Structure 1
Amino acid sequence: MWGYQIELPVRPRQTRRQLRRSGFDSRDTATSELRHARSLLELADGDTDLAAQIGDLLHACRPGTPLPDRDAVAARVRAGVPASVPTTTGEYLTAWLAGRRGLAEKTVRGYSDHIRQYLIPHLGTIPIQSLRTSHIEAMFTAIALKQDEIRAARASTDPHIRAMVKGVRPMGASSMQRLYATVRKALNDAVIRSKLIPSNPALGVELPSGKRPRARVWTAKAVQHWQVTGNRPSPVMVWMPEQAGRFLDHAERHDIALYAMFLLILHRGLRRGEACGLRDHDVDLDAGYLTVVEQITTVGYTPIVRPVKSDAGDRTVPLGPKTITALRAYLDIRRRWQHVNGNQWPYTGRFFVRPDGNAWHPQTISDRFDRLVTKASLPPVRLHDLRHCAATYLRHGGADMKEVQETLGHSTIGLTSDTYTTVILELERGSADAVADLIPRDKRAA
């Protein structure tokens, strides 16, 4: 067995100290590590305080653990960061999140969940100066394998296995991309702001595209396939117009409190939070338009009032006669609720409220929507998919792409085109033979 020892720099009034390492299989291995230790001490270049810091760093190394990476320590020296304070990736991420300012609460919650659930468990103990692309790739590989296990368990024929993952949603490609965006941003700041590392190891990571899924239509054949297998053709599904009509009829009979909101979302493509956030003075039924300015979203389960997502989202939406009629009927019902509640009625200023006058919780709206869809025996769509329905019906009703974009409040027409204008196959059937009809044929041909 081979070993080495080397004197370490000390501060005033410190006693003599050494770095002693043993248990090496060969003289060459021991000599190589001794050179590594000396190369670290040489980074001080005559600076006694810096030499003492590097001595502290070496003295803290436990037997059997590798010495600090020279390039990482050199980067700290160049940045003026204390060389003797090894920062783990977990410590850095915690401090980074605590130091972020001016972020929306939902963004902070997203960062916090990513750091707590994924980044610290997988990367937290690695010194940030030693973090490499391979570590981050290994994290995403491990997460992907776990998601495959969840999907397999959900598809199992064993009810006990399915019960183990009940309520657990596997991460899709877009969720992976959001996690990647968090770690990339945090490490960019470690390079540019904190100067802890010379380059961002996340930049070399490649993930499957988080491309938005294409909307698909609940045609008769798609419904039949779903009834047999339970599988949807796409995560984003659009009802045929007659299916949307069946839903509205059912909602009008069984949930009059939310019927008008569902109708408005389906007719005009509002987001859930935008419908919840509508104020009385945002809706002008005499003039025939409403203004989208605020939204009520959730952070965890806590409702948050905030401005709409973007400048494009802050918009004026025209209303048609049928929509206006339904909203007027809703206001009559609301006045009756108010009369029943009397002095207990709270004046929230919101257009859509519960029968007791309080604002709706966004999740309550989604839950009641899902129950209505099930009770109406309709193929499943998400509440957000009513936006897809509205966009598709607008487009096939003759609206151009720009009108669809402005109605929905999209920032770019490309987003509108890529996501919300799936062809309704049944509505196009009438034009399917348009080209064939133009081509004359010999009727005598067999």
Structure 2
Amino acid sequence: MTGNGFKRCRCRENGRELGAKCPKLRRKDGSWNPHHGTWCGKEEIPAGPDGKRIYLRCGGFATEADLIAWYQAAGRLLDIPDAGPEGHEARMEILDMIRAAHKRQAPLPEYEELHRKYKAGQSLQSITFGEYWDTWVERRRRLGDIRESTLIGYISHWETHIRAVLAGVRMDRLFVPVVEGVFTEIDRKNEELLAARASDDPEVRASVRGKRPTGPVTKQRIRATLRTVLASAQREHVVTFNAAELVKLDSGKKAKGVVWTKARVDAFEAAFDERLAAERSAEVQPKKPLERFKVWLATPRPSPVMVWTPAQLGVFLDHAAADRLYALYHLIAFRGLRRGEACGARWVDAELDGGLLATARQLNNVGRQVKEGSPKTESSDAVVALDSGTVAALRAHRTRQEAERLAAGSAWIDSGRIFTKVDGSELTPDWVSEHFERLTFAAGLPPIRLHDLRHGAATLSLAAGNDMKTTSAMLRHSSISITADLYTTVLPEVAREAAEASAALVPRAVVVTGASETGGLPSVSQAGNHRPADSTGSR
């Protein structure tokens, strides 16, 4: 393919462009004038199944050599697809790519890459990750094959961390080091944030107040977002491998529950008092001073997952007993429901006489809306056994709700939910969590998340002597390992009883009772029971 070159220009006569008819294009001897016009070409492409002729027309080349070289390169690309009707669609796609490259004055597609994609059955177009992301999100919304709340989480990762690094990267250039750039940028931002926190400049410190570094668990979730999107691209033959699967990160293991022991509570309260004093004496005050509750929430905890002792839980339940949502918190604390399951619970699914509640639906915050959906997993859709105390709390709640319905009259909204707003409408799960935190603060207790009550329910179940299988069934986990790994915490009193029981198995002739009054060394006394003779003898 040489282009069958000819020259044309933009000279005009009587307002019309002369094109190839301009007399200046040729010399008197008929040869082309090298100083006027540009080179153009026209080549016929194999016709499609309809027999219609197809041409590749392009111009603007400075020399005939440039024209011939370009047409030869274009012809090589057009020869990639199979001859005849089998390769027609691919040939037309390549023809469009050639025309687009010429229009943009960009290089032609790379032969080796295009040849590889064609042989592998991949898409020939080199779209960017940003372009693919837009179509992927739109497809997910149309098909509804991902929970809306999950999709919003993916979009949040894209907006906050991914887009700035990968939006303009071609899909066929998404190699592992390129994807790792997302996490390199996260680390850089984390370093800047920590440096600003430690700055001597009050204004710099104030600029990052309330901001948190992106931790290992969040990084794992961001990688999971990338892995999910690239898995779709791999199935669609847009990419040949999933680069996100090969990115190495810190383990990002989910935090296990830590009990609020007295020592931890004392340390937390001291840190809270210190932060509150610093907030009130800050050189640069925020436009809206932080209330004590907000400072309390922002005070670091020993672990992201904290568990109350039974005594602390009792204090909370006693304080919240008069609250109109007391039964909701009671239900979560003792039977381990998830927040969305408790908010979505319906009276039609409750059988109080039999002490049963089916977790058939849940409510979740999706953006600024509340959406109803199925439980988190298939095993979550199950029946929960209720203890007598929880049944009594639900009966009292139903009596309260009936009084609210009568007071509302025609304004009552019959949502069918067990737990509702005063007018009968559905609760907002995020508000339920904040309400719980404010009740906790008012009760004078150390902070935990509402979801931590679920951890506490698992801990109480095991402390009461229930086995792991029973506890896992109560939480409706898909496997016992999830319960064992994440949702069980040994209470101090239970741990001490186990330690005493273990120590009691060893008979001692000498007992170390503590420091003596004189020398400060351990005091030793004879035990009432003597060690039995060692069958192996003694030295």
Could you tell me the TM-score, scaled by structure 1's length?
0.85
1:310 Cα deviation (Å)?
Answer: 1.8
- Are residues 1:234 and 2:275 paired? no
Bigger drift between 207-216 and 167-176 goes to 167-176
- Cα deviation 1:5-49 (Å, max 9, x = unaligned): 99997765544447889xxxxxxxxxxxxx999986774687894
- Are residues 1:104 and 2:147 paired? yes
Q: Within 5 Å, give how 1:150-161 maps onto structure 2.
A: 150-151=193-194, 153=196, 160-161=203-204
Q: Which residue of 2 aligns with 1:298?
A: 365
Q: Which residue of 2 aligns with 1:218?
A: 260
Q: Within 5 Å, give how 1:2-401 maps onto structure 2.
A: 12-17=54-59, 43=80, 49=91, 52-53=95-96, 55-56=98-99, 59=102, 68-78=109-119, 83=124, 85-100=125-140, 101=143, 102-151=145-194, 153=196, 160-193=203-236, 195-229=237-271, 230-253=299-322, 256-401=323-468
Name stretches of at least 5 consecutive residues in structure 2 with no aligned partner.
Answer: 1-38, 46-53, 64-71, 272-298, 512-523, 526-539
1:111 Cα deviation (Å)?
Answer: 2.8
Bigger drift between 366-375 and 6-15 goes to 6-15
Please give the secondary structure, in 2, of the residue aligned with 1:145: helix
8 A contact 2:420–2:426 mirrored in 1:
yes
Please give the secondary structure, in 2, of the residue aligned with 1:371: helix
Please give the secondary structure, in 2, of the residue aligned with 1:312: helix
8 A contact 2:462–2:471 mirrored in 1:
yes
Q: Which amino acid aligns with 1:106?
A: S
Tell me the distance in 2 between the aligned counterparts of 1:96 and 1:163: 39
In structure 2, do the counterparts of structure 1 residues 393 and 8 end up closer, same or farther at CA, with 3 Å as the change threshold?
farther
- Cα deviation 1:283-302 (Å, max 9, x = unaligned): 22211121111111111121
- Cα deviation 1:333-363 (Å, max 9, x = unaligned): 2222122222222211111122222221111
1:393 Cα deviation (Å)?
Answer: 0.6
- Cα deviation 1:221-248 (Å, max 9, x = unaligned): 1112222334311100000111111111
Tell me the distance in 2 between the aligned counterparts of 1:350 and 1:299: 19
In structure 2, do the counterparts of structure 1 residues 144 and 432 end up closer, same or farther at CA, with 3 Å as the change threshold?
same
Tell me the distance in 2 between the aligned counterparts of 1:191 and 1:141: 24
1:192 Cα deviation (Å)?
Answer: 2.0
**Structure index of larger Rg:** 2
8 A contact 1:114–1:179 mirrored in 2:
yes
In structure 2, do the counterparts of structure 1 residues 381 and 69 end up closer, same or farther at CA, with 3 Å as the change threshold?
farther
Q: Which residue of 1 aligns with 2:68?
A: none
Please give the secondary structure, in 2, of the residue aligned with 1:298: strand
State the identity %. Answer: 37
- Cα deviation 1:36-81 (Å, max 9, x = unaligned): 9998677468789466456436535657xx8755543234323566
Name stretches of at least 5 consecutive residues in structure 1 with no aligned partner.
Answer: 22-34
Please give the secondary structure, in 2, of the residue aligned with 1:198: coil
Matched residue count: 425
Tell me the distance in 2 between the aligned counterparts of 1:58 and 1:346: 61
Q: Which amino acid aligns with 2:313?
A: A
- Cα deviation 1:279-333 (Å, max 9, x = unaligned): 1122222111211111111111211111111221112112122222222222222
- Are residues 1:436 and 2:483 paired? no
Could you tell me the TM-score, scaled by structure 2's length?
0.71
Instruction: Tell which has more relative contact order, 1 or 2 (C-alpha 8 A, sep 6+).
Output: 1
Q: Which amino acid aligns with 1:177?
A: Q
In structure 2, do the counterparts of structure 1 residues 158 and 271 end up closer, same or farther at CA, with 3 Å as the change threshold?
farther
